[in-house]
A and B are shown apart, each in its own frame.
Chain A
């Protein structure tokens, strides 16, 4: 699965499981707490059935 702040590009190149990270320069956020939320979201996506090119948003992630 792919964590990136550019899900449009990820979709265009055919990635199927995409989580939108907060920024190009720090796709896993700035703080360890934020990182934990993003990684957990990504792991949940790996454990889920998805349609092709699915993008999951994060909640409450500072940009």
Chain B
């Protein structure tokens, strides 16, 4: 039998609700609460003790709480740690993730995939659950299956096969068939409407904003084409930009050749530098503004280099630019991508 410790919050450990949320870390013999259901489904694993901590205590005294919890865990000499399920609870999910990530033995935490605590799990396994306690019945067998596999020392399959959330690892393995055969198989599956991926794209999905009436709106020009004033005074990088820039347009009616240039290192900028309006159409939009088609063109344009930029950095640029535009009353954006 592999010795396991189960981590729970005060509520699931039966110590009380919110009024007991300040309970410091405490040890309980054997399995309690959801741990009982879990224990019944485990194979080759025994829950020797439960360690519980109040949600508020953990949140307010994080390092102290974590140290005490780890001490209690370690005293049991476990080979495995299991935490939760925390469902959609942020405080609890975060505590579960930190405990499992810090315990120094294999383990897993269970929570909803959008639980904000998920990010703290690091390389530890996270089993997805429903967002509320209604998902308990589904969660326990899945936690038990993965915990039993860890206890048996079995090499895990893909997140899909073994029921955990992708951790962003890519593992090499020797396939039985050639790349050509597998490519055709994937293509056929795609044509049949079945696609799958082992790499989570991780991009935000937002609803399309409502249409605007441009004759009464302020429109801004934004680009990732690396357009800057000639000579690149602020040294926008040609690859892996660390930020974005905002340039006042004054009364300019065109991004004039020789006054602006592109420093983007990811495409041939010859045609763009011949006429930078091909990348950021200031001349056309000024015309349309004069005709009343566009209410007002925003007084500055925003630029960065979209070349080898990590998703996290690009996401931040987008959020920062959008925030700036919003604060300045801009209602519509014409974004150009190269």
Residues of A within 8 A of B (CB): 1-6, 10, 12-14, 16-17, 21, 24-30, 32, 35-36, 38-40, 42-43, 46-52, 54
Interface residues of B (CB under 8 A from A): 201, 203-214, 219, 225, 267-272, 275, 277-281, 283-285, 287-288, 293-294, 332-338
- How distant is the Cα of A10 from the Cα of B219 in the complex, in angstroms? 21
Inter-subunit contact B214/A16 (CB<8 Å):
no
In the assembled complex, how far is the CB of residue B48 from the closest CB belonging to chain A, in whole angstroms?
46
Neighbour of A36 across the interface among B206, B270, B287, B337, CB < 8 A: B287
Instruction: Provide 19 A-B residue pairs closer than 8 Å at the C-beta atoms, listed in order of the A residue.
Output: A2-B336, A3-B335, A12-B201, A12-B203, A16-B206, A17-B208, A21-B336, A25-B270, A26-B278, A27-B225, A28-B280, A28-B336, A35-B278, A35-B284, A39-B334, A46-B212, A47-B212, A50-B208, A54-B208
CB distance from B215 to the nearest CB of A (A): 9
In the complex with contacts A28-B336, A43-B293, A52-B284 CB distance below 8 A: no
B277 touches A28 (CB 8 A): yes
Partner of A13, one of B203, B269, B275, B336: B203
Residue among A6, A13, A36, A52 facing the most chain B CB atoms (10 A cut-off): A13
B264 to chain A, nearest CB (A): 10
Q: Given A28-B277, A46-B211, A52-B205, are A4 and B336 also a contact pair (CB < 8 Å)? A: yes
